Each structure stands twice: as C-alpha cells, then as structure tokens.
Structure 1
Amino acid sequence: MPAHINKDKGMQVLLRLSPEMTAMLSQAADRSGRSNTKEALVRLEDHLKSFTDLATPGRRFTAEDSDKAIK
C-alpha cells in the first residue's frame, strides 16, 4: 500500500477546479445542504459506481454496459 493511503481513512486528493466548476459545485452543495467537500465526494462516488470506464471523450459506458461486454 502506498505511504499516502491510510488503510483506515482512505486517500486524500487535492483538486484544482475551474471557476465554472467551482460555481457549479457550490450551487449543488447549497441545494443539498452539504459542504463543497461532501458534495464532491458524494458525486465522485456516484459517478465511479455508475461508470466503470470513460473509454473515449464524449462517450460513456455504464457498469451495466461493461457487464454485457464481458459475457
């Protein structure tokens, strides 16, 4: 396990968001009542569970699509 990953707490990530993405994230956080950090975490988790791959820009593959391709 890499040194920067804590087996109990996970991994900390630093991101630089564009002003537009910052505004979108802040608006979503305000609507949900979550902090910006929690909103980003919830959205990242949801996206990772929904999309196993982004094979090409502009085209998304769902986890269901990936399961069908394997069978």
Structure 2
Amino acid sequence: MQTQEQPSVDDLQELWGQLGNVPVDVDGYLEAPFLHFAVGTDREDVWHWFEAQHPDVSVAAFMGIAKP
C-alpha cells in the first residue's frame, strides 16, 4: 500500500500564504477554488485540513495569534 508523503511545515506555510489571496465572503465561505476545495467551502474546513496535514501545524500560529 502506498502512503502519501506528508507535506512539510514550510510547504504548508507557503500554501497558507496562497490561501490569503483567495476571496472569502462575509460568512466565511470561499469565493474562489483553492487546492481541492470548491467555491462555497467554509474557510474553517480549509483550516482544519491544514492542521490535519502535519502534527506541528497550527492555524492559530500561522495567523500569528498563538505561539508555534
């Protein structure tokens, strides 16, 4: 069985920066696709995906509201 390689924290930080360019409506839903997420996806679902990709990833840390 093949396993997918875990992305690095640096790779995820780069993707986080790209997510910052994706418009979000006032209710927190994506207005443009991002990676495999469709228009209309709740941004919190995307945040949970980031945290699920690597045990050392914290969305709060990426946002600068918590220490890494």
- Give the TM-score, by structure 1 length: 0.28
Q: TM-score, normalised by structure 2?
A: 0.29
More helix as a share of residues: 1
Over alpha carbons, which structure has the higher Rg? 1
Structure with a larger share of its residues in strand:
1
